[in-house]
Amino acid sequence: MNSINNLNGMRTYLIGAMDRIPDGGIAWREYITPYLKALNLSVLNPCNNPMFGIEENHNIRERIQHLKDMGRFDKIRIEYGNIRNADLRCVDISDFVICHVDMDVHMCGSYEEIVTANRQKKPVLIWCKQGKKNVPNWLFFMIPHEHIFNTIDDLLIFLHNINTSTDTRNLKRWFFLGEHKT
């Protein structure tokens, strides 16, 4: 009998703050990516420039801050607004998204990406550094609480269970390619 691999070939986008944290959001994304790839997922990671010609890294963030410091606000959107466009396109082409919420870091684009995925009726999986009970209330209004996790490892266990489920009838918002027994 073939092993079940419901997530085979799907794409996920990794949402989370990048511009207000020292590592630019790299560490948690590097931690989770090997697990996701082991499930044969395509991982869209904004730290690794998933869109051709679009960069968001430490140097770009420094340049944007320099423009702010110089009062050149008019140039920010003109020169770097494509970052937002690329990130939202990654949400569009993903099958589900994973979001890291850290209550000590102000997130802006991440919330727009969550809302976009939610409006597209995609699974939005959230893990909060400070635990599920500290997730902002608004996210509980939007996202099924079963898709909000205390730790990144809890989220990975959930994905493993989705991946190997033999009965996918009750998995709302999850759409699987190929034949599946229910």
3-class DSSP string for 83-140: HHHHHHHHHHHCCEEEEEECCCCCCCHHHHHHHHHHHCCCCEEEEECCCHHHCCHHHH
- Could you tell me which CATH class the domain 11-164 is placed in? alpha beta
Ordered by start, the domain boundaries in the chain are 11-164
Residues 6+ apart with CB under 8 A from 182: 167, 168, 169
pLDDT tens by residue, 101-156: 999 998 889 999 999 999 999 999 999 999 999 999 999 999 999 999 999 999 99
For the stretch 52-74, pLDDT in tens is: 566 777 787 888 889 989 999 99
Average confidence score pLDDT of the chain = 89
